[in-house]
C-alpha cells in the first residue's frame, strides 16, 4: 500500500495543561525528525532541509515560551491560595503531588522560605537573584539522573514564589530531533548522538544547523535532520486485492497453494505468500479474471468588520492568529456547529481524554486490528482533531473551528505515523459506514492506490465531504489522496497569507488555509505548535462541518463549491497552482448559506 505523509511538525515541550511543540509527519512536512525535503529536481531548485529544520526550531521555541507562560500562571495561582484553611492546604498538596512537571513549591518573604511543599533545594534558591525582573530561572541541573530547573517569580505584593521543574518530559519529547543548550551554550538535553559525538557548546555548531532562541530562558533549540534513507515502498510478498465476485475470490485464495489472507476487510483483502514476491503475486492476480483491483501493499506514513464572537480560551488571543485570519470569529455568529454533523479524523488516532475534547470523541475504529481502540500513540491525530473541533469557549486551551461538531477517530497510522493504503482505505470505508459527514486526511503518498481511490469514490458516492492535505515537499508532484478529483485539496499559508514554502502546489490545489506555527492539542492534556499542510486541512474540515450544521441538505459538491467560491483570492487572479481559489473565509462561506 501507499506510504502516507502527514502534514505537520512535531517538536515540543509540554506542561501540566499545556505544552507546545512539533510533530513529524512524513511526506507532508509534519515530522518528528524534520526529515529532509524531497524536491522535484526537474521543476525547482533544491532549497535543502535547513529551511524545514528552521521551522521546526521556531515551533519548538514557541512551544517552550508557551510552556513557560503556563508554568508562570500555575505558580501565581498556587501563591494566591489560602493555605490557612486545612482543607484547601490538603487540596493544594495533592494538586502539586499530581502535577507532572512541578517537583516542589516554595513561598518566600524577605528571601526566607515561609512555606514549602515537596523537597525544595534551598541552596539553589538563594543562588537566584530577581535583579529587577519579575521572573528568573536557574540553569538546568541534574539530580538522580533527571534534569531540573528552578523558576522564581515576584508577585505584585513583593513576595516571591519558586517552583522546581522536572524537565524529564522535555528530554523525552525532544528525542532525536533536536538538542537543547542552556544560556551558557552548554547542551543539557541531547537529541541522539549528535551533541555527544560532535558538539559540547553552541559555539561548535556548523552554520548549516538550524537553531532558535527561547527568549524567556536564552536556551538554544538546535534541530539536526538526517539524510533521508532509502525507504521500503511496499511490503514484499503481499498484495491488496478487490474481487469482482468476493466469494469466488475467497475460494480461489483457499485453493491456491502458498497464498493466504493476511488482512480481511471486505471488500479489500491483503494476501500474502511465503515464496512469491509482490510482483509475482500481482501477476497471479492479473491472470485471474475475477480480479477487479490489485496493487502492492504500499507503506504509508503521517504528513498545520462584522460583529465577532471572541471565545475565552486561554491561547486564543495570544497564539491563534490562524482563526482570526480566516474570519472565524465573524463566522461563529452564524454557527458554532452541530453535534449531529460528524467529522472523521483519518490519522494516528485521537486522545479522547484530552480536556479540550471531553465528550466530543465518539467510539472510533482501529484499521490495524479492527477494534475500537483508536487512541493516539503519536500525537498527530490529536493535534489535527483539535484544529477542526476542539472544545471552545471553555476558558481552557484553544478554540476549534467547529465548536459543537463531534469527532470520529479512525486510527490508520501507528505510533511511528506509519500505515498502508490498505489501512487508510479500510478506515475511509468504516467512517462512511458509521456516520461520517466530513473526512479529514492529513496524510499522503506519491503512489496512486487503486484500493484507496476505490474507497474515496465510495465515500463520494455516499455524499461525504473529503478533505486532504496537499503535502509538504514544495513540489508540483501530486500526492494521494490529494490528487483524486473527488477530494478537496488544501495547501498551506503563513500568517500574512503567503504560501508556506513547504506547501505542495499544482493544478489540483483547491484552497489554502493556515499551516505555519499552529497551536493545538497533544495527548495527555498537552498543547503543541506544529506546521504543515496537515494543519491546514482540518481548518477546512471544520468549516465543512459548520456549513453542514447550517444546512444539512447540502451535497458534498455544494460544500466544495461554497468553500471555493467564498475564499479570498490570493496570488494570480482566479485559481492558481499555489493557492487554488484562495484562503478559506469562514464568515463569507457561512453567509452564503444563511
Q: Which residues are part of the catalytic machinery? A: 347, 380, 534
How many domains does one find in the chain? 2
Mean pLDDT for back-to-back runs of 10 residues, the chain (594 residues):
39 30 32 28 43 81 80 82 77 82 86 83 75 78 86 83 85 72 84 52 75 85 63 79 93 90 89 88 91 86 52 89 95 93 98 95 97 94 97 91 97 93 97 98 93 97 98 93 97 95 95 96 90 96 98 97 96 94 96 88
Q: Which of 153, 188, 223 is the last residue of a domain?
A: 223
Per-residue model confidence (pLDDT) at position 115: 84
Domain membership flag for residue 109: yes
Q: Is 388 found in the same domain as 528?
A: yes
CATH of the domain at 197: 3.30.450
Coil vs helix vs strand at 149: strand
Domain membership flag for residue 308: no
For residue 354, count CB atoms less than 10 angstroms from its CB and return exposed for 0-12, middle for 13-18, buried for 19 or more: buried
Q: 285: how many CB neighbours lie within 10 A of its CB?
A: 22
Q: From 81, 58, 64, select the one nearest 18 (Cα to Cα).
A: 64
CB under 8 Å to 429, separation ≥6 — which residues?
265, 268, 455, 458, 459
Q: Which of 200, 223, 246 is the last residue of a domain?
A: 223
Grid cell in block for residue 372? 475500537
Domain hosting residue 131, numbered range: 50-223
Contact predicate 52/502, CB 8 Å: yes
- Grid look-up 470523541 returns 361
Q: Is 328 found in the same domain as 213?
A: no
Per-residue model confidence (pLDDT) at position 236: 84
Per-residue model confidence (pLDDT) at position 33: 25
Domain membership flag for residue 298: no
User: What is the spatial distance between Cα 257 and Cα 241, in angstroms, rounded to a whole number?
Assistant: 17
Q: Is 337 found in the same domain as 203?
A: no
- Grid look-up 532525536 returns 176
Domain membership flag for residue 24: no
Domain membership flag for residue 43: no
DSSP track, 12-30: EEEETTEEEEE---SSSS-
Domain membership flag for residue 284: no
Domain membership flag for residue 45: no
Per-residue model confidence (pLDDT) at position 301: 56
CATH of the domain at 417: 3.40.50.200
Per-residue model confidence (pLDDT) at position 214: 84
Q: Is 219 found in the same domain as 320?
A: no
Q: Which of 223, 239, 263 is the last residue of a domain?
A: 223
Per-residue model confidence (pLDDT) at position 232: 58
Amino acid at each position: 500500500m501507499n506510504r502516507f505523509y502527514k502534514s505537520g511538525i512535531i517538536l515540543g515541550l509540554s506542561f501540566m495543561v499545556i505544552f507546545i511543540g512539533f510533530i513529524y509527519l512524513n511526506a507532508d512536512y509534519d515530522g518528528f525528525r524534520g526529515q529532509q525535503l524531497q524536491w522535484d529536481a526537474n521543476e525547482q531548485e533544491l532549497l535543502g532541509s535547513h529551511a524545514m529544520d528552521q521551522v521546526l526550531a521556531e515551533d519548538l521555541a514557541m512551544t517552550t515560551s508557551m510552556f513557560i507562560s503556563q508554568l508562570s500562571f500555575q505558580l501565581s495561582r498556587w501563591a494566591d491560595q489560602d493555605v490557612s484553611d486545612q482543607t484547601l492546604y490538603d487540596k493544594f498538596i495533592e494538586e502539586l503531588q499530581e502535577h507532572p512537571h512541578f517537583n516542589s513549591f516554595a513561598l518566600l518573604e524577605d528571601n526566607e522560605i515561609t512555606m514549602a511543599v515537596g523537597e525544595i533545594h534551598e541552596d539553589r534558591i538563594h543562588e537566584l537573584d530577581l535583579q529587577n525582573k519579575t521572573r528568573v530561572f536557574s540553569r538546568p541541573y541534574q539530580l538522580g539522573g533527571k534534569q531540573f530547573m528552578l523558576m522564581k517569580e515576584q508577585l505584585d505584593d513583593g513576595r516571591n514564589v519558586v517552583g522546581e521543574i522536572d524537565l524529564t518530559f522535555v528530554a523525552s519529547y525532544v528525542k532525536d530531533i533536536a538538542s537543547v543548550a542552556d544560556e551558557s551554550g552548554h547542551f543539557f538535553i541531547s537529541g541522539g548522538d549528535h551533541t555527544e559525538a560532535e558538539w559540547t557548546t553552541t559555539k561548535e555548531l556548523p552554520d548549516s544547523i538550524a537553531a532558535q532562541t527561547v527568549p524567556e530562558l536564552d536556551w538554544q533549540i538546535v534541530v539536526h535532520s538526517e539524510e533521508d534513507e532509502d525507504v521500503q515502498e511496499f511490503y514484499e510478498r503481499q498484495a491488496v486485492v478487490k474481487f469482482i465476485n468476493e466469494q469466488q475470490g475467497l475460494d480461489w485464495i483457499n485453493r491456491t497453494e502458498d497464498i493466504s489472507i493476511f488482512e480481511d476487510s471486505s471488500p479489500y483483502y491483503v494476501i500474502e505468500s511465503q515464496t512469491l514476491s509482490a510482483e509475482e503475486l500481482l501477476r497471479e492476480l492479473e491472470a485471474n479474471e475475477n480480479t477487479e483491483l490489485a496493487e502492492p501493499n504500499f507503506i504509508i506514513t503521517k504528513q498545520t468588520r462584522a460583529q465577532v464572537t471572541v471565545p475565552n480560551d486561554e491561547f486564543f488571543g495570544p497564539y491563534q492568529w490562524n482563526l482570526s485570519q480566516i474570519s472565524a470569529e465573524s463566522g461563529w455568529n452564524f454557527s458554532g456547529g452541530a453535534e449531529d454533523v460528524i467529522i472523521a479524523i483519518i490519522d494516528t488516532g485521537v486522545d479522547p481524554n484530552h480536556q479540550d475534547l471531553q465528550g466530543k470523541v465518539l467510539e472510533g475504529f482501529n484499521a490495524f486490528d479492527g477494534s475500537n481502540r483508536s487512541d493516539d500513540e503519536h500525537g498527530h491525530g490529536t493535534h489535527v482533531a483539535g484544529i477542526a473541533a476542539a472544545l471552545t469557549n471553555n476558558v481552557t486551551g484553544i478554540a476549534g473551528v467547529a465548536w459543537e461538531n463531534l469527532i470520529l477517530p479512525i486510527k490508520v497510522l501507528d505510533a511511528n505515523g506509519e500505515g498502508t493504503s490498505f489501512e487508510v482505505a479500510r478506515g475511509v470505508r468504516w467512517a462512511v459506514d458509521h456516520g461520517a459527514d466530513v473526512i479529514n486526511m492529513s496524510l499522503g503518498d506519491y503512489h496512486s492506490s487503486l484500493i484507496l481511490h476505490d474507497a474515496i469514490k465510495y465515500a463520494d458516492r455516499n455524499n461525504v465531504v473529503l478533505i486532504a492535505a496537499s503535502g509538504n515537499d514544495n513540489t508540483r508532484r501530486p500526492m494521494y489522496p490529494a490528487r483524486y478529483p473527488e477530494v478537496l485539496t488544501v495547501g498551506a499559508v503563513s500568517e500574512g497569507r503567503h504560501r508556506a514554502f513547504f506547501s505542495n502546489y499544482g493544478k489540483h490545489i483547491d484552497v489554502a488555509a493556515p499551516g505555519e506555527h499552529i497551536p493545538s492539542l497533544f495527548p495527555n492534556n498537552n498543547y503543541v505548535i506544529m506546521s504543515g499542510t496537515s494543519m491546514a486541512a482540518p481548518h477546512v474540515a471544520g468549516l465543512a462541518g459548520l456549513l453542514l450544521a447550517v444546512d444539512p441538505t447540502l451535497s458534498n459538491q455544494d460544500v466544495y463549491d461554497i468553500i471555493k467560491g467564498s475564499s479570498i483570492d490570493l496570488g494570480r487572479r482566479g485559481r492558481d497552482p499555489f493557492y487554488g481559489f484562495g484562503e478559506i473565509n469562514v464568515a463569507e462561506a457561512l453567509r452564503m448559506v444563511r
